[in-house]
A and B are shown apart, each in its own frame.
Chain A
Amino acid sequence: MSDDHGHDHPKHELSYYAKRIYAMRDLLIEKGVISEKDIQCQIEYQEARTPANGARLVAKAWVDPAFKARFIADPKAACQEIGIDATAINEFVVLENTPQVRHMVVCTLCSCYPRPILGRPPDWYKSFNYRQRSVSDPRGVMREFGLELPDEVEVRVHDSTADIRYIVMPMRPAGTEGWSEDDLAKLVTRDSMIGVMDALPSLPE
């Protein structure tokens, strides 16, 4: 990725639609519909949104029961408490995993995702395969990500919309009593907040 992305000009090897976005950008700026600064701000905003935001929320909820209660009751207010701007989400729902119930999030119709918290969705989340299979074979999808669930554990799949975005709060791994929030946050992966796997059992190498 070049440092001046957004400012460069179309290259002849680009696809038809890739070229068109450069033309649309210039026209929208010339007409004053949006500004160059608007575009730059959005690039910076998206690049500042990463799964680390979600990991902070989950780790804090793991160590602070009062925060956890607030995070579940009013997720947007809980985000604001720790300086994460979730105002761009219309309705934000936290799904708490338990030993009996695992939650998994998809957008079968397209790619709705809690972008203000986690950033842009990964490619697999937007793929036809995930959109098709998540609702008919969620256990098979989890197995591919390395999570083998016993039959007695219930799986609930949540289909996102333009107005409702979900985040999964994975279970705190056993043996992490007394850990700092920072270390706990390292166990909370993006994929565990989409719900296709659990939090990591131990710190990554």
Chain B
Amino acid sequence: MARGHHDIGGLPGAGAIEAADHPLSDWEILADAINQALGARGVKRTDEMRRAREEMDSAAYRDMNYYERWVASMEAILIEKNILTKDEIDQKLAEFESKWGEP
């Protein structure tokens, strides 16, 4: 079986460990908290989130930063469970943009 894009333990070519930590942005703190809250409410499980990350497009997986992968996998799982739809999310974003005047 070919390795999935997430299954990187032991792969060659990795560089030095960058030890510096970045302070989390507000949206990252929010994504983290929503993920935990959905877990606490029994809406989704850790292994479901991991499956969603494992099934996403491989190039996207490598290009996204950590919490972007979380948001993408939360969205996939919430849509899969018929809790949200992509259209609803798109529409909500369009509302924000018209209300706050940002493109």
Which residues in A have some Cβ–Cβ distance to B below 8 Å? 1-2, 5-6, 8-12, 14-28, 31, 33-34, 38-43, 45-46, 106, 108-112, 120, 122-124, 126-136, 141, 144-145, 159, 162
Please measure, in the bound complex, the distance between the C-alpha atom of A110 and the C-alpha atom of B100, giving whole angstroms: 35
A123 in contact with B7 given A27-B84, A39-B34 (CB within 8 Å) = no
Contact of A18 among B27, B54, B90 (CB under 8 A): B27
Please measure, in the bound complex, the distance between the C-alpha atom of A109 and the C-alpha atom of B96, giving whole angstroms: 35
- Neighbouring B residues of A111 by C-beta, 8 Å: 66
Please measure, in the bound complex, the distance between the C-alpha atom of A12 and the C-alpha atom of B96, giving whole angstroms: 10
A39 touches B33 (CB 8 A): yes
A123 in contact with B20 given A9-B96, A111-B66 (CB within 8 Å) = yes
Chain B count of residues within 8 A CB distance of the other chain:
63
A162 touches B11 (CB 8 A): no
B89 touches A42 (CB 8 A): no
Please measure, in the bound complex, the distance between the C-alpha atom of A132 and the C-alpha atom of B73, giving whole angstroms: 22
A24 touches B78 (CB 8 A): yes
Of B8, B24, B75, chain A has the most CB atoms within 10 Å of the CB of B8
A109 touches B26 (CB 8 A): no
- Neighbouring B residues of A21 by C-beta, 8 Å: 27, 30-31, 34, 71, 74
Please measure, in the bound complex, the distance between the C-alpha atom of A136 and the C-alpha atom of B20, giving whole angstroms: 22
Which residues in B have some Cβ–Cβ distance to A below 8 Å? 6-34, 36-38, 40-41, 43, 45-47, 50, 53-54, 62, 64, 66-68, 71-72, 74-75, 78, 83-84, 88-90, 92-93, 96-97, 100, 102-103
* Contact count A vs B, C-beta below 8 Å: 182
A8 in contact with B26 given A109-B9, A129-B14 (CB within 8 Å) = yes
- Neighbouring A residues of B29 by C-beta, 8 Å: 1, 5-6, 43, 46
The distance from the CB of A138 to the nearest CB of chain B, in whole angstroms, is 11
Please measure, in the bound complex, the distance between the C-alpha atom of A124 and the C-alpha atom of B15, giving whole angstroms: 12
Listed from nearest, the 9 A-B pairs whose CB atoms lie closest are A108-B9, A12-B102, A132-B14, A23-B92, A42-B33, A162-B46, A18-B27, A38-B37, A17-B68
Contact of B102 among A11, A18, A135 (CB under 8 A): A11
Which residue of chain B lies nearest to A40 when distances are taken between CB atoms in the complex? Answer: B33
The distance from the CB of B92 to the nearest CB of chain A, in whole angstroms, is 4
Please measure, in the bound complex, the distance between the C-alpha atom of A14 and the C-alpha atom of B31, giving whole angstroms: 13
B71 touches A109 (CB 8 A): no
Q: 14 A-B Cβ contacts within 8 A? A: A6-B29, A10-B96, A10-B100, A17-B64, A18-B67, A21-B30, A23-B90, A24-B89, A28-B78, A45-B36, A128-B8, A128-B62, A129-B18, A162-B45
- Neighbouring A residues of B21 by C-beta, 8 Å: 122-124
Please measure, in the bound complex, the distance between the C-alpha atom of A10 and the C-alpha atom of B34, giving whole angstroms: 16
Please measure, in the bound complex, the distance between the C-alpha atom of A24 and the C-alpha atom of B100, giving whole angstroms: 17
The distance from the CB of B43 to the nearest CB of chain A, in whole angstroms, is 6
